[in-house]
Structures are given as C-alpha cells and as structure tokens.
Amino acid sequence: MSEASATRTPSAVNIGSRHGLGVLCGLAAGVWLGAAEAPTKLVNSGLSPFAISLCMVAGVFTARWTVPTLLKGSRYVFADLAAKKHLLITAILAGMLWAVANTLTVFAIRDVGLTIAFPLWNTNSLVGLMWGRLLFGELKGASAKNIAKVVLGALAIVAAAVMLGFSTIHGDVASGVHAGRAVSGILAALGASLLWGTMYIPYRKAYISGMNPLSFVTAFTIGELGTMFALVLALDGGTKAAVFHSPEAKHMLFWLFLGGFVWVIGDLFQQFATKYLGIGRGIPLSNTNQIWGVAWGALVFGELAHADLTHKLLVISGSIVMILGALAVSTAVATSREHTSTNDSLVRECSRYNLDYHSVFEAYAGVENKDREQKRGWWDYAIVAVAVGAFIYLGVNARVPSLAIDFPWLCILSGVLVVTAAVGGWGLWKATRFS
C-alpha cells in the first residue's frame, strides 16, 4: 500500500485534468440521447413493447460492435476484455438491467405517454448519485459548495424534466394516454429509473479497474440482446411472436435500428462522462437529453403547434432551469481531497483483483498505453461492412411513418448531432485516443 500511497498526489492532479472532457461528453450525450427518442413514436404501431424493445436492442447490438471496431479495432477490445476477465459478468449483468429497463420505458410510454414517462425515468440521476456516494466514495472530501452544486444541479435537472414533460400535455397528447393504465405506466417508468440508476454501478466498477468504455459496452450488449430474446420468447408468444412473422415489422425495423444506433452514440459519450466525472456528475449532464427530446418533438414533429401560452412558458422555464442545473453540475470541479478518495477506490480495486496500480491508473486517466495498440484485422472491415449492409437492406424496405415533419428543422437538428459528435469525438481522440 505504501507504493500506492506515494502516487496519490500526482494521481489526483492527473485525474482532475479530465473534468472539462467529461463535461463535454456529458452534454454531447444529452444531445444524442434526446434524438434517439423519436422512434418511440412507433409504440402505437401494433407491435408489443417487447417487440419494439427487441428491435431497438438489435440496432444497439449492431452499433455497439461497429463503433468500437471503427475507433479501436476488435483486437484492442478483446485484449482489454481478456485483461479484465472478472468484469465480464458485471458487463453482461449491466446489459441485462438495461434491456429490462428499456422494455419498461416502452410500457410506460404506451400507458402514460412519453410526456409523463420521460421525466419519471430520468430520476435515475438521483439513484446514480446515491450509489456513487455509497459505493465509490464520490463527493467524499468535496467542498460544501461542490456538494451543493452537484446535488442541487441534479435536482434542478429532474425538476426541469418534469416541467418540460408537462409542457407537452395538451389536448392532442393527453387524449393518447390510457387512463386505466396510469398506475402501471408510472410504476414502469419508476422501475426503469431504478434499474438505469443501478446499472451504473458495474460501469463505474469497470472504469476504476482500468477498462476502456468501448470494451465494456461490447460485452454489455451480450446481456442486452440475450435478455430481450428471452423476454420475447417467454412473455410475447415465443417463436410465434409477431415480431418474427409480422410483415409490418419488416417496414419498421429501419427506424427502430436507427433509434438504437443513435442511442448508442449518446450512450458512449455518457460512458466517457461517467468515467471522467463519476456517476453523480456524469448522469445528470447526460439527462439534459430531455431538452433535446422536446426540441425534436416541438420543432420537427410540431407537438406544441396547438399549445397555449401556459405550456409554452413551461418549455421556456424548464429549459432555463435545466441549463442552470447543468451549469451548476459542470462547474463543480472536484478538489484534490475528492480526487484522493477516487484514487483510494482505484487502490482497493487493484488490491482486490491483483491488478497493477500504475497500469490501472493510466487507463483510468485516459493515458493511452501504446503497447496495447493493435492493428486492425480483415474481420474488422467485415464487421463494418455487415453493419452498413444491414442498414441499407432495412432502409430499402422501410416505410416513412405518416407523421408531419418539418424538414428544415430536421436538417438543423441533424446538423447539431453531426457537429456535437465531431467536437466530442475530436476531444476524446486528441486527449485520450478514445481511452
């Protein structure tokens, strides 16, 4: 332990240097996760929530294998997984939690509408904040000012999510809510919040063990897809489920795959934010996705076209509160005492699993180890080609949903997605080489 103790002071300084990068990733995650909610409009398509969730997870699975392969190569990913075998089970478990939570959100949307369900499941930031403090010592040693910024900022973002959610409740939207299922819908949304907040325990454990987020999500997706197949086979008709036989499902797969793919881009930014900021700071920042979800609904799909002044004021007020909450969290730069607590978590993890402290610390701090760089094999290009081919095939067979779409705003918000990914990706590559 004396060797580890001797490294704590410089370690704390190096860990703290990633705060700005973590904030950038958290905000970028909000932009992409908000855009991924658009395909949930298909919950009224006739397919069951299990079927919709399975289709989205199939898109997620495709993205989780393709993006890490593009950025680092499969040799790098598998070498990282092999060096941290003890984390494979936790990664698969996290994927299982995500799959169940995602299915619960589809039930919640069906029963009470996206407007009410979204802010309820976004309380996962408060669940994550609790787990981060109890299990990983986050905010331990933090100044009273920083604690207030993180806690009040997270609460402000949740409150803003509620305001933005209720801003879209007017005649047309409210009529789509199943009053008889309100209780089950609310419970489903809260269950998703609990599972998604708990899911970040394996994430944080992986990162303080030195695992790359790109490697973790590759194993993570096995739990996702396996769980969704099991749910469909057990609870949605087995092999006779409509998702496997319905001709209509074929025409909607592209949009659900696309939603899953967009979600993964946001989730990857979210993982890097969790790595460099911790659960308590990273998740509230990524939960600014609510403001972007409302932007897509209002500007692209015209959901607020017939809203009255009260609802429009809720949008403005909610947006301001969310921005202030995000500003509070993003400016809560951890002190050296808090970094020492984080370093203690790294030391405990290394002692528990007999890991090399210096290697783990360098990986956690985002210092690329050149010895682990791996050349890409021909199969990497094959993985990417198969993914592109799948999207082309599904796109050719897709039907454009019968929704009124404002194409100028669609182009503008799509442009925001591209710019955000470019800036966030460049920041990660330049500072850490996606480590």
294-325 residue pLDDT tens? 888 888 877 777 777 887 888 888 889 999 99
Residue 418: band (very low, low, confident or very high) from pLDDT cuts 50, 70, 90: very high
- Percent of the chain exceeding pLDDT 70 equals 87
Is the per-residue pLDDT at 398 higher than 50? yes
Write down the pLDDT at residue 41: 60
The single-letter code of the amino acid at 108 is A
> In terms of DSSP H, where are the helices of 84-212?
88-121, 124-136, 144-167, 171-174, 182-207
> Between helices 19-35 and 247-277, what is the axis angle to 10°?
160
What per-residue confidence (pLDDT) applies to 266? 92
Phi and psi torsions of 162, nearest 5°: -65, -45
Q: What is the pLDDT of residue 307?
A: 75
Confidence of residue 14 (pLDDT cuts 50, 70, 90): low
pLDDT greater than 90 at residue 31: yes
End-to-end alpha carbon distance in the chain? 26
Predicted pLDDT of residue 32: 94
> Taking the alpha carbons of 182, 288, 413, 167 in that order, is the dihedral positive or negative?
positive
| Residue found by looking up tokens 């402000």 in the block | 156
Average of pLDDT values for 370-395? 81
Largest CA distance in the chain: 66
Q: Which of 135-144, 249-258, 382-391 shows the lowest mean pLDDT across its residues?
A: 249-258
Residue 395 has pLDDT above 70, yes or no: yes
Q: Which of 60, 43, 41 is nearest to 51 (CA)?
A: 43
Look at residue 4 and tell me whether its pLDDT is greater than 80.
no
Averaged pLDDT, 245-272: 84
Domain ranges of the chain: 2-432
Residue pLDDT, tens place only, 86-119: 888 888 988 888 888 888 887 887 777 766 777 7
The rounded distance, in Å, linking the Cα atoms of 282 and 329 is 9
pLDDT at residue 178, as a whole number: 53
Instruction: Tell me if residue 7 falls in helix, strand or coil.
Output: coil
What DSSP character marks residue 285? H
Q: For the chain, how many residues are written?
A: 435
